Amino acid sequence: MRRVAIVSAVRTGIGKYGGQWVRTPSEQLAAAVIKEAVARAGVDPAEIEDVVMGNLHAHHGNHARIASLTAGLPLEAGAVTVDRQCGSGSQAIIYAALNIAAGYGDVMVACGVEHMTLNPYQVTKVPNYSYAPPQFLTNRVSTDEAGNPPFAMTADILGKRLGITRQACDEWAFHSQQRAARAISEGLFKEQIVPVEVKTKAGLKSIVTDECVRMDASLEKMAQLPPLFEGGLTTAGNACPRSDGAAAVVLMSEERAKALGLEPLGYFKTFAAAGLDPNIMGYGPVPSTRKALQRAGLTVKDLDVVELNEAFAPQVVPCVRDLGLDPERTNPNGGAIAFGHPLGGTGVILTVKLLYEMLRRDYELGLVTMCIGGGQGLATIFERR
């Protein structure tokens, strides 16, 4: 198996639901990061053999192809869209990396995008002979037999089962907001964010903002928020907000990177997926991370930094505890509770953040991991050198 390098990594600012990207279609967000990632890599677009995109909901079939062509990539570049729910972005990176490692290509783009503001509705198809109006479909990611509760409810089930307190959840959420606000104030994301122009009444405006972060978050105010479900742990303050965003990375074989004289941001090392009870889907990072570490011959103590997707604090807190992660090195610049979780884009967004943090601090090993609706977890390990 060949070693796979990541030679560029970029993302958009993450917009809040109905916010800065409300008039910018998802293919334009994806095209912006694809175009910039290829430009920063310094490769001829004709070398791009495939574009792998993570996305859950779009207005088009094979959204990757639409975004690829919108970005100006050649007609000859392939494109495919994958859906592993919240892990779709990471899965895009994994598929591209595995193809290159196995020799089925030298240069590929992996990207992820989700526009939750503009995601289309899904309705049932009405037979021609029926006069009944179509019905909106509910989001099914599991079967009724296995369990298909609302995602926030699964966090409550998990948190209560594992003895997590509301205070611990609110404290984690508060620190996530604090870390995000500090990182923004220190300009830590400037290099990784691609400016995207949007039309406003005043003319074109270049957007680079992470819009969801609460710069003045208050632990006292969080504690006063009611739970989403009676007697539960999850609130609007300790759950990730709906959001819009995109990210992309360029991957290539180590041999090709050397031939082009490129200095990689990092290297793909290994990954692991795991399934579990859908009713406690938020615990997915635990079995998937353990599998990935075992495959790599590592322990949790070998990890220098971790990006663990913060779907809901009641699932993050037990995952950090039970994996034995260092809280100070887990989401050091804030997580999805602060920034938002643009579903299919999140895995790539977290990878971009991880790679730049590893570069900034000269870290050697990093992990991206997340829970996945329907009862799964996904973990990916990267190395610096």
Please list the active-site residues. 86, 341, 371
| SS3 label, residue 382 | strand
Q: Which residues lie below 8 Å from residue 279, measured CB to CB, with a gap of 6+?
A: 147, 149, 154, 157, 375
Question: Comparing C-alpha atoms, which of 198, 190, 187, 240 is closest to residue 19?
Answer: 198
Q: What is the DSSP string of 72-113?
A: T--TTSEEEEE-BTBTHHHHHHHHHHHHHHTTS-SEEEEEEE
Q: Which residues 6+ apart lie within 8 Å of 42 measured at CB? A: 260, 262
Q: 330 - beta bridge partners?
A: 306
Q: What does the DSSP assignment read for 249-318?
A: EEEEEHHHHHHTT---SEEEEEEEEEE--GGGGGGTHHHHHHHHHHHHT--GGG-SEEEE--SBHHHHHH
At 249, which amino acid appears? V
